Structure 1
């Protein structure tokens, strides 16, 4: 299978490295410097087993849509989706897999005349150390579900070769899958970013844990979660299993990059407003993160 991977961040590099073992990968990146570096040196990945390299074809993101790939995996952050997709003439039948955090990206997908769309929730821990290098720190899995259209044979062709090396888990309910990831992101990301702590501190420090629980109560009310204990235990388990990890939002704040707070808490605020519900803690965290971005020269 020929696969386009759009986005040269940590997730784009991670997926390019592993999927290139069994498929033909074309990585699309935003700038010439990254393209030239990967062309010259390949992609370097470090995990608990050591350091490895692979050569992949790499092009500029402006060229995406012209390569005739069988599938495009969209790995850019949600705030880059509009600039990536606007004015693109994507063929309606071309399969796309979206790997954004939150659930706000579903609105972008609905604006496109697409017939075959998958969405995923990435549970791996990874961070980029250079234009061509990624550290695979937390080995998990990628949950994947159909959003529009369905072709089980196509999906099996994509994921079956990676049963052990880079596992995928097919899910029947895309909404529940994305909501579980949203709840995790909505609690762990803003709290760790503001408190500047590793994930595990949120459940180890009783004062942080109190806010953790209060935030979950607001979120479950807005989303009207029916399996609230399942969602709650999932967040606790993620904190425990990634206790030494620094969240992606914490890294964004530390490095002065825009965060995905609009895609995560912004989505929940919109849902609360539509339901005439109050969300004081979510609103406070949202504006603290946005204020932090503004202080560092963001928007």
Structure 2
């Protein structure tokens, strides 16, 4: 099995490193030639929260290149799976530059790989289907924690579960889901707690609501996840965002678990020292994923003929923190 991982960020390095260390044929595609060169010369190091080595993918045990070379390489040596591991805001552009080039080549139609989208937020699967019409598309929801500490090193900040499944709107054949069984077993072989989910949509909506409550507030207040629970005022704002999102879900007919507040508190506690990806983006002065998280809640509300005022406001506040988002 050949797995192409598109994106050399934290998740790309985590999954690529552990898969390659387990003997899986991995190809990692990066934005920059500099990173791909470092990966080829230094390998991938996965360390734990204490900085101790968890595993190492030695140079030569995997391939690394730039995204723009992906299609030509794939046509020469086709792979079975493509993992899209960039941030939500970059997904369409990167997909068009990689797998999207294969979609334009009719000679690749008989050997289409499965594509797994690791993005947060909502709405990206429909956009990917527009770029890759007729392809076997899978959504992934993971609670693995990772932070890239160098172009060739990633810190495994927390062990979680990886759910993979076919969203309902994809309307693909049942055998497409069965096709993913070997891939999930390969992830398990590499040490991941991977599950083939028959209800990935509920996982997507669950993670969306958790991210919509936690991430923007940590970015706005410049605090790690655990500090959200440090004061009653912060908790009140969190509950306001949660209740508004739950009202939107109910109006849209989206089922949601009754213990969402307890789940949010558990995430804040278990990742207390973590810096959310949205806060990292704000600190770096780059575009965040707020449009695809809180903006998605607001968009769902609009479809239901209502307004998610708090989520709309928070989307604007976060976008106003960086010049590039204004």
TM-score w.r.t. the length of structure 2 is 0.85
Kindly provide the CA deviation profile for residues 1-46 of structure 1, in whole angstroms up to 9, marking residues without a partner as x: 1000000111111110112214200000111111111111111111
Which of 54, 61, 72 is 2:82 aligned to? 72
TM-score w.r.t. the length of structure 1 is 0.93
Post-superposition shift, 1:145?
1.0
- Alignment partner of 1:277: what SS? coil
For 2:27, the equivalent position in structure 1 comes to 26
C-alpha RMSD over aligned residues:
1.9
Post-superposition shift, 1:162?
4.3
Which of 283, 287, 299 is 1:254 aligned to? 283
Kindly provide the CA deviation profile for residues 100-143 of structure 1, in whole angstroms up to 9, marking residues without a partner as x: 00012122123131331111012011111121111111111211
For 2:158, the equivalent position in structure 1 comes to 138
Q: 1 CA distance for matches of 2:102 and 2:193?
A: 32
Q: 2 CA distance for matches of 1:16 and 1:163?
A: 13
- In terms of mean alpha carbon deviation, does 68-77 or 258-267 score higher? 258-267
Post-superposition shift, 1:253?
1.0
- Alignment partner of 2:89: what SS? helix
Q: Is the 8 A contact 2:281 2:288 kept in 1?
A: yes
Q: Is the 8 A contact 1:77 1:101 kept in 2?
A: yes
Post-superposition shift, 1:153?
4.7
How many aligned residue pairs are there?
Answer: 297
Against the structure 1 CA distance between its residues 298 and 227, is the aligned structure 2 distance closer, same or farther, given a 3 Å change threshold? closer
For 2:195, the equivalent position in structure 1 comes to 169
Against the structure 1 CA distance between its residues 152 and 107, is the aligned structure 2 distance closer, same or farther, given a 3 Å change threshold? closer
Q: 1:71-220 alignment to 2 at 5 Å?
A: 71-86=81-96, 88-90=101-103, 91=108, 93-111=112-130, 112-147=132-167, 148=170, 149=172, 150-163=175-188, 165-220=191-246
Q: 1 CA distance for matches of 2:123 and 2:177?
A: 26
Q: 1:276-291 alignment to 2 at 5 Å?
A: 276-291=305-320
Post-superposition shift, 1:298?
4.6
For structure 1, the residue ranges without an aligned partner over 5 or more in a row are none
Post-superposition shift, 1:259?
0.8
For structure 2, the residue ranges without an aligned partner over 5 or more in a row are none
Q: 2 CA distance for matches of 1:18 and 1:124?
A: 13
Against the structure 1 CA distance between its residues 107 and 163, is the aligned structure 2 distance closer, same or farther, given a 3 Å change threshold? closer
Q: Is the 8 A contact 2:202 2:256 kept in 1?
A: no
Kindly provide the CA deviation profile for residues 165-205 of structure 1, in whole angstroms up to 9, marking residues without a partner as x: 21112221121010011011111110111111111122232
Post-superposition shift, 1:73?
0.3
- In terms of mean alpha carbon deviation, does 83-92 or 235-244 score higher? 83-92
Q: Which runs of 4+ in 1 moved over 6 A?
A: none
